[in-house]
Each structure stands twice: as structure tokens, then as C-alpha cells.
Amino acid sequence: MDIVLDFYKDLPFNIKSRPWLPSSKESFNNYCPSLIQTAFASKLIVDIGCGPGHLINSLNYHYLRGNSQDNQSKYQGIDFNPTAINYAREIVGKENLNTEFFVKDVFNLDATDFKSEDEKEVFIISIGALHHTRNCLEALTQILKSSSIGDRKISFLIGLYHLHGRKPFLSHFAELKERGWSEAKLKQEFAELRGVSLDILQDESWFEDQVNHPRETQHTLKEIYPIFMEFGFHLDCSSIDRFQCSSVNDLISTEVNFEAIAEEKLMQRKYFPGFFTCLFKNY
């Protein structure tokens, strides 16, 4: 079994013990200000590495309650973890959603995973997943290769750990582990940085994911941009400049500053995961 699948099989990331509530529309702006508008304008929305399905189910929830005249768009979640998919499907039943979920490894994706009656507007989402695969760039290429067929208008929102922005957080906990800190002390340290919620299970999943993950890589816009270009995509916006639509060259030249920002946040005792998102389009 893959070490990441084994890691997540009993405790999927961001799993909840409390009753499920959809994310607010405003919270989608943390990923991209146009996320919900892009989803609602698309005929097929596919969340790759969806985990327990919070994002895609929330989008479907708001769509079904705000578009009563047109329920033809398809919402799909794909993940390699059956435990997470089962949780996501339970939410579908309880909330009367029509999100479809599939258990599949990203490296096995093909054109059939992006099929719909109207394939012209496709929105692909992959937030916080590809950097846990055996090869993030290969996984990204597989998604683009499988989906970029014909004259589809594709939007692709990707979220990854940043090479420079993630370093201080990882270094901090690596140092604490080398100093022999117990699991309890590490949890306390993480809780002091991030804070705690009312859901102990969810907090536990966050700690394990952030501090004890067996496989994680970090990336940059400079690294992923050429792959998107190869498949005819351009960058629409990025969290690197808080979605101000700076030029790609300007973003690449400034993203190295993420490390200094992360170091300052750590000194201020604030949680900074070192994460960035980008919205790409091929039209």
C-alpha cells in the first residue's frame, strides 16, 4: 500500500466528528475570489484529491440551492482514499446533494474522468493534494493530459505547498523533534500556533497532516508554470500577490520572499502553512 494512503486510511485530513455544515461562500475567496463564479459557470466541476469532499460538496450545496432552474452541471470528487470517499458520500445522502465521488489514483486518470454531456466548460480543482503524491509534477501532467481534449474551455485551480513559504514551519518542527519533544508537546506547540476548534478529531487530523506526514514536496509558480504553458494555459491569478493579477515574471521574482514572511509569522507565533494557489485557464 502507498505510504500516504496508509497514513490517511484511518484519519483522513480535515475529517470532522461534528455535523457537516457547508463552507460559506466567502470562505472560497481564500482559495480564489472567483472560485464560486467559475464553478457555477462550468458544466463539469472535478475536485481531484478531494479527501472527505468538503469543498466540492459545499460548492454543490450552494449551486443546488441557488440555481433551481438549471441543475445540469456535474460535480465530481476523486480521491484514492476509500475512507475519505465514504465520508463524502455520507454527506451527499444526508444533505440531498448530487455530487458524485470516485475512488481513483491520480496517476490512473484518463479522458473518461472528464466526461459530461456538455464538456465545453470544465473546472478542475486540486487543493493541497498533488504535493503528497509520489511525483507532483507528473501528477499535474497526467491531469492536464487527460483533460485537455478537443475545444474544452478549462479552468484549473491548483493549491500547493510553497518551496520558500513552507520551509520555516517544517524546519521548526523538525528541530523540535530532533530535540526529543514528545508527541504531546508537539501537539501543544501546533495548537498554540494554529489555535483549536470545537472538533477534536478535526484538530487531530490537522496536526498529523501538518507535522507527521510521511511524504510532502514543496513547489513554486516558476516550477509549475511551464507545465501549464505546454498545454496551452495562461495564469489568471494567484494568491502569491493576493490575486492582484501581477505579471508572471513579477510573481516569480517576488515569490522567494515567502520565506521571510513565514519566518516573521513564526516569530509572531502565528500559523503560516506556506501554501499558495493559482488559477489557470486555457481560454
Cβ(119)–Cβ(72) below 8 Å: no
CA–CA gap between residue 76 and residue 109 (Å, rounded): 13
CA–CA gap between residue 93 and residue 186 (Å, rounded): 37
Cβ(239)–Cβ(152) below 8 Å: no
Q: How many CB atoms lie within 10 A of CB 114?
A: 20
Cβ(60)–Cβ(29) below 8 Å: no
Taking each helix axis from N to C end, the angle separating 136-147 and 221-230, rounded to the nearest 10 degrees, works out to 30
Residue 22 DSSP label:
P
Tally of residues, the chain: 283
Give residue 71's pLDDT: 64
Q: How many CB atoms lie within 10 A of CB 259?
A: 17
Give residue 115's pLDDT: 82
Tell me the per-residue pLDDT of 247-276, one tens digit each, with 9 for 90 and over: 999 999 999 999 999 999 999 999 999 999
Give residue 120's pLDDT: 84
* Amino acid at site 99: T
Name the grid cell of 217.
514536496
Cβ(47)–Cβ(16) below 8 Å: no
Instruction: Give residue limits of the domains in the chain.
Output: 3-163+216-256+275-281
Q: What is the CA radius of gyration of the chain?
A: 19
Low-confidence ranges of the chain (pLDDT < 70): 1, 68-71, 117-119
Tell me if residue 60 falls in helix, strand or coil: helix
Cβ(158)–Cβ(128) below 8 Å: no
Cβ(18)–Cβ(203) below 8 Å: no
Nearest by Cα to 263 from 193, 178, 165, 175: 165
Alpha helices in 118-244 (DSSP H): 136-147, 167-178, 183-194, 200-211, 221-230
Tell me the per-residue pLDDT of 30-52, one tens digit each, with 9 for 90 and over: 999 999 999 999 999 999 999 99
Residue 81 DSSP label:
-
3-state secondary structure 197-213: CCCHHHHHHHHHHHHCC
Give residue 149's pLDDT: 84
- Across the chain, how many H-helices and E-strands are there? 11, 7
Q: Classify residue 94 by burial, with Cβ atoms within 10 Å: 0-12, 13-18, 19+.
A: exposed
- Enter the pTM of the model: 0.97
Geometric angle at alpha carbon 54, from 48 and 56, rounded to 5°: 50
CATH superfamily of the 3-163+216-256+275-281 domain: Vaccinia Virus protein VP39 (3.40.50.150)
